[in-house]
Structure formats: C-alpha cells, structure tokens
Structure 1
C-alpha cells in the first residue's frame, strides 16, 4: 500500500514472483465509474471507494479460502480502508511503501499511460493515514531500488515468523 507513484505495482509484481504468489493489481478491481472519475482528474470519495474495497476484500477472501498466497496492490490510504480489506478475513500482512512528496511528484510527472494524474497528488497525501503503528505492517522505503525493497521485505517477514 502507499500513495500513487510509490512503486507499488512494480514492487508487488517482483515480490509475488519471488514468493511464487499470485499477483493482483487493485487498480483492476476499480469499477468503471472510479476509473472515469480519476481519468478526469477527480479524486475519489469514500463512497466511491466502497465497492472497490469490497472487491479487494473478496479477493483476499478468495485467496485465503483456496489456501493460496497472494500479493494485492492497492493504495489503502486510510485506516478505515485497511480495516474494510481485513474485515472477516484471516490476518494479513500489510506492506507499506513510504515515500516523500517530492519523490512522488517527480515520478507522477514522468509516468505515462496511467489514470492517476499528478494533479491528484495533494489529495493522496492529505488522505494518507500512516499504517506504521498497525499490527502486521512492514514499512519499506519507496526510494530504494526494487531489489533492495524485496530484500528488506523478506528479512522483515522472516523476523515475524
């Protein structure tokens, strides 16, 4: 989880591949109306996110029900969103890509072909409620190279088990 542009998709894909786990991009679970709204540069409201969070919660449930490992990437910026994802699911590990605004601003202005626009950056940071104090949360610096992020993550997971 983390703000748009923190590198969640790249990181999650590599982590899933390394762990031989299923990769699910939360962006693919957004309803059409959300994608249209973000493409137009309009930040989503909590109401807009309800169906999306339910879809992510269902994806977690499906993985757990089938006894599969998975990595689901999504912003999950507020604690309430993370609680919705965890609702009625077994405990799950949250990986937080922590980034500063300058790094994200640079990345978003360089990024092509994504519906999240750099003009929405302020709303991302305004919405962000840091999960660092939440149980089963690992914080990883977004400015590390992806390989180092994976190494930090695997070392932190090893300490949890």
Structure 2
C-alpha cells in the first residue's frame, strides 16, 4: 500500500540499516522527506573515541557500539512517546543490535540496504569527508553483518536508483 503523507495519520519509527557505503544517510533522508518525518544520522551519536578508532581503520567491537546503540534506542523511544515519526540511519549489523534499537519501539520498521562488496567498495572509495575509510573496515562490517530476514526487515538492493528504493520501501510500509 502506498503511503500518502497527506493522508498518513499514524507515526512510525524507521531504521535504515546496512554496512557503510550502502546509502543509509541519503536514502534515510529521502524516506524521511517522503513521510514528513525527522531524520537522524546515527553516525552523529558515535563517541569521539569510536570515531577516532574508525578513522584509524580499526573496526568497532560490541563494547564500542553498546552506548551508541542505547542512545539511538532512546531517540526511538522519545519519538514513540511523542507519537512522532523519525527515520534513523544506523548500520545495526547484528540482530542483537537491532533488538537493542527495538527497545525504543517494538514496532520499529526496518529498511535493509544490501549490496555486493564491489558496489560498496566503490561507494566508500568515492566519497570524501567521512571518517569511515578502508577496505579492512568494510570487510569487518561484512563479516559482522547478520542480514535480517523477511520477518524483520524490507531488504532492497542498492543497485536500484534512490527514487526506486524509496518508492519500493514506502509501498511496503503499509499501515
């Protein structure tokens, strides 16, 4: 069912997830714009030590991600409590990470942006000004990735155009 923002009467909390380079920020902003929701880039909530670690090419571990994920879950909870809509872009690589985020809203809707290694590598090496660099970091994220099943998320391939991704996801949102 297509969601028309002029007719939408309910709020929703949406996670746009995937490894670095999948387009979480770009697609998340487009989805938020389409739905009249706020957008939050999860990267903005990383601790300085985590950003420094990634900038040096050192992958984050579960402990590095714990406080970050809890903070994002709190953002989802705040929006749920206000009955407001938000889209948050966050890698959410493992099911337990997504479970932490669902503590903020058990009805969390998830868009999983998937792509092959070559697509992702090209995107990462083409962008400027981002702290996440290097093939080692991509390999680490791909190794950690526990792709969500159909019961957990809508999976769309980043080979689609941004407009197609947004259209397909919004059609699948339903009420």
How many equivalent pairs are there?
158
Higher relative contact order (CA 8 A, sep 6+): 2
- How large is the RMSD of aligned CA atoms in angstroms? 1.1
Residue from 36, 56, 64 that aligns with 2:72: 56
Q: 1:93 aligns with which of 109, 125, 135?
A: 109
Deviation at residue 111 of structure 1 after TM alignment? 1.1
- Please give the alpha-carbon distance, in whole angstroms, between the structure 1 residues aligned to 2:67 and 2:57: 20
CA–CA separation in structure 1 for the residues paired with 2:76 and 2:54: 24
1:129 corresponds to which residue? 146
Q: Give TM-score, length-normalised by structure 1.
A: 0.94
Runs of 4+ displaced beyond 3 Å = none
Q: Distance in 1 between matches of 2:150 and 2:81?
A: 28
Structure 2 gaps, min length 5: 1-16
Equivalent residue number for residue 4 of structure 2: none
Aligned equivalents of 1:30 and 1:154: distance in 2?
28
Alpha-carbon contact 1:64-1:90 (below 8 Å) kept = no
Q: Partner of 2:113: helix, strand, or coil?
A: strand
Matches within 5 A, 1:1-161: 1-87=17-103, 89-119=105-135, 120-135=137-152, 137-158=153-174, 161=175
Judge conservation of contact 1:86–1:92 (CA < 8 Å) in 2: yes
| TM-score, reference length from structure 2 | 0.87
Q: Which has more helix, going by share of residues?
A: 1
Give SS of 2:167's match.
Answer: helix
**1:133 Cα shift?**
3.8
Supply the distance in 1 between the matched residues of 2:69 and 2:104 (Cα, whole angstroms): 13
- Which consecutive unaligned segments of at least 5 residues does structure 1 have? none
